[in-house]
A and B are shown apart, each in its own frame.
Chain A
Amino acid sequence: MALLSKRDSKLILDPLSDNNPITIQVLGICSALAITAELEASVVMSIAVLFVMGTGNVVISLIRNIVPSRIRIIVQLIVIATLVVIVDLVLKAYAYELSKTLSVFVGLIITNCIIMGRFEAFALGNAPWRSFLDGIGNALGYALILVIVGFFRELLGSGTLWGYPVFGDAIDMTGLYALGYENNGFMLLSPMALIVVGIIIWIQRSKSTHLIED
Chain B
Amino acid sequence: MGINTDKNSYTLLFAIGMVIIVGTLLAAIDSSLRERIDTNKILEKQQNILYAIGINDNEGSSVRFISKDQAPIEFDKYVVNQIYIQGGKIIEDEEAYLIEVKKEKTLAKDASYNRRLPLFIAEKDDKKYYVAPIRGKGLWNSIWGYVSMDEDMIIQGAYFDHQAETPGLGANINQRFFMDDFIGENLLDSNGNFKGITVSKKNLDPRNEIKDDNEVDAIAGATITGDGVSAMIKSDLGLYVPYFKQLKQN
Contacts and interface: CB of A to CB of B under 8 A. Distances in A.
Contacts of A68: 5-6, 10-11, 14
Interface stretch (A49-57, A81-89, A138-146): A81-89
Contacts of B44: 96
B205 to A, nearest CB: 15
**Majority-rule SS of A interface residues:** helix
Contacts of A10: none
Interface string A29-42: 00000010110010
Interface residues of A, number: 36
A70 to B, nearest CB: 6
B169 A103 contact: no
A168 B201 CA distance: 26
A59 B145 CA distance: 42
A69 interface: yes
Interface string A73-91: 0110010001001100110
A66 B14 contact: yes
Contacts of B40: 92-93, 96
B146 to A, nearest CB: 16
A188 B5 contact: no
A185 interface: yes
Contacts of A191: none
A103 B5 contact: no
A203 interface: no
B62 A188 contact: no
Given A37-B168, A93-B36, A188-B167, A69 B18 contact: no
Interface stretch (A16-24, A123-131, A157-165): A157-165
B25 A37 contact: no
